Structure formats: structure tokens, C-alpha cells
């Protein structure tokens, strides 16, 4: 287990700010954290694990600020950074797993996710893109967003076309139906709506 200090939210935000500066990226980090936290609660993990899942969500793209102009290198710098900051091998591996199977990242293309937390992270960080785009389409409103509307957008492949629907479906490997995952994810992001420019 990672030492407790490193698992504190303020500490993690501090680390993120060392390598990332764009507000829009922080929106994605915060939304991923919120979905992971909500998901961990809904599957009734213990408080300590809920925090662990949330922190993984928050920091999963730690090297994005350094690699986004050359996506092929995304998650290449992350292990080194996270190790230096004191995270465990297991934590680091989970972070990196959200890039497994990704065509644009050659060094991770042939790897496969196997653990529940890995599927949870991949599905959670991916659904944030769909929900945020849908909220913007609705005039930034998430408060009254219904999962059925989100489901329609999920099925409409031309909407937020870059959002990989197959990865969102990995929620089933966490033991959740797509409908339940839509509900949980909306619920999670609603709780932080003011921090991510939504209403």
C-alpha cells in the first residue's frame, strides 16, 4: 500500500500542478476523480479504497501536460514521475493500464486490462468526455441530466465521436450495467459541477 501522505488529495493536486497547467485538462482530472469516487462508493468499497480509487482517477493522466503534443509518448513519462513522488509499483501499473489496447500508444497497444480497478478507471475516465460534451450541448446543464438522454448520445456514434464506446462498456467488467454506470457517472460529476464549469 502506498504511504498515506501521498494519498492525500491536496498533495496529489500539488503533484498534478507541477506537470499540468491547462484548466481544461484539470476539468478532465476532476471529473475522472468524481466518477471513480462515486463508482467505488456504489460498489460498497471501504472508505480507504474509495479514496484510493478517487486518487487514481485524479492523477491518471499525470504526464498529459508533457505528452499531449506527441500522444504516442502518453504514459511513458508517468511511471518515472509517479515513482519519484513515492507511489507504489501497483499504483503506477493501474494508472498506466488505462492506455492498454490504445492504438495511438505503441508501447501499450498489445496489453490488456484484467483487474476490476483497471476496467473501472478506463471506463470512468472515458465516460467523462461523453458527459461533459452532452452537458455543454445542454447549455452546461447537468443538474437535470437524465441517463436516458446520455444513453441516446452513447448510441449516436457521431456525437463526441472520439469517445470510445467499447471502453465505456468495460463497466460491465466492474459488475455494472451500462444504465447503472450512466446514472452513477452523472451523479458523481453533478457533485462537482461548479468546479468543472457546469450547472
Instruction: Considering only the stretches 112-120, 121-129, 154-162, 173-181, report the one whose residues sit in contact with Fe ion under the rule CB under 5 A.
Output: 121-129
Verify binding: residue 61, Fe ion, rule CB under 5 A.
Answer: yes
Verify binding: residue 63, Fe ion, rule CB under 5 A.
Answer: no
How many Cβ atoms are within 10 Å of 90's Cβ, its own excluded? 12
Residues numbered 19 to 48 that lie near Fe ion (CB under 5 A) are none
Question: Judged by CB, which is closer to Fe ion: 38, or 125?
Answer: 125
Question: Judged by CB, which is closer to Fe ion: 38, or 61?
Answer: 61
Provide, rounded to whole angstroms, the least separation between the CB of residue 44 and Fe ion.
25
The DSSP string of 134-172 is HHHHTTT--TT--HHHHHHHHH-TTTTTTS-HHHHGGGG
Nearest of 105, 129, 122 to residue 166 by alpha carbon: 122
C-alpha cell at 159: 456525437
Question: Judged by CB, which is closer to Fe ion: 141, or 192?
Answer: 192
Provide, rounded to whole angstroms, the least separation between the CB of residue 95 and Fe ion.
10
Query: Which helix (H) or strand (E) segment is 55 a member of?
Result: helix 47-59
Provide, rounded to whole angstroms, the least separation between the CB of residue 128 and Fe ion.
8
Query: Can you give the length of the chain in residues?
Result: 199
Verify binding: residue 187, Fe ion, rule CB under 5 A.
Answer: no
Distance in angstroms (rounded) separating the CA atoms of residues 76 and 163: 22
Q: Nearest to Fe ion by Cβ — which residue?
A: 125
Residues lying near Fe ion in the complex (CB under 5 A) are found at: 61, 125
Amino acid at each position: 500500500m502506498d504511504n498515506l501522505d501521498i494519498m492525500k488529495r491536496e498533495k496529489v493536486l500539488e503533484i498534478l500542478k507541477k506537470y499540468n497547467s491547462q484548466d481544461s485538462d484539470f476539468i478532465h482530472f476532476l471529473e475522472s476523480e468524481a466518477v471513480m469516487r462515486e463508482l467505488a462508493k456504489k460498489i460498497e468499497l471501504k472508505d480507504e479504497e474509495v479514496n484510493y480509487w478517487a486518487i487514481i482517477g485524479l492523477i491518471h493522466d499525470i504526464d498529459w501536460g508533457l505528452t499531449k503534443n506527441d500522444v504516442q509518448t502518453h504514459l511513458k513519462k508517468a511511471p518515472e514521475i509517479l515513482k519519484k513522488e513515492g507511489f507504489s509499483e501497483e499504483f503506477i501499473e493501474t494508472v498506466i493500464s488505462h492506455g492498454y489496447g490504445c492504438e495511438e500508444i505503441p508501447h501499450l497497444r498489445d496489453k490488456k486490462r484484467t483487474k476490476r480497478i483497471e476496467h473501472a478507471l478506463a471506463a470512468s475516465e472515458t465516460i467523462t468526455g461523453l458527459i461533459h460534451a452532452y452537458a455543454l450541448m445542454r447549455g452546461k446543464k447537468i443538474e437535470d441530466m437524465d441517463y436516458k438522454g446520455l444513453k441516446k448520445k452513447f448510441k449516436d456514434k457521431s456525437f463526441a465521436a472520439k469517445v470510445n464506446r467499447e471502453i465505456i462498456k468495460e463497466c460491465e467488467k466492474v459488475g455494472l450495467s451500462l444504465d447503472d454506470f450512466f446514472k452513477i457517472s452523472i451523479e458523481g460529476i453533478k457533485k462537482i459541477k461548479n468546479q468543472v464549469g457546469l450547472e
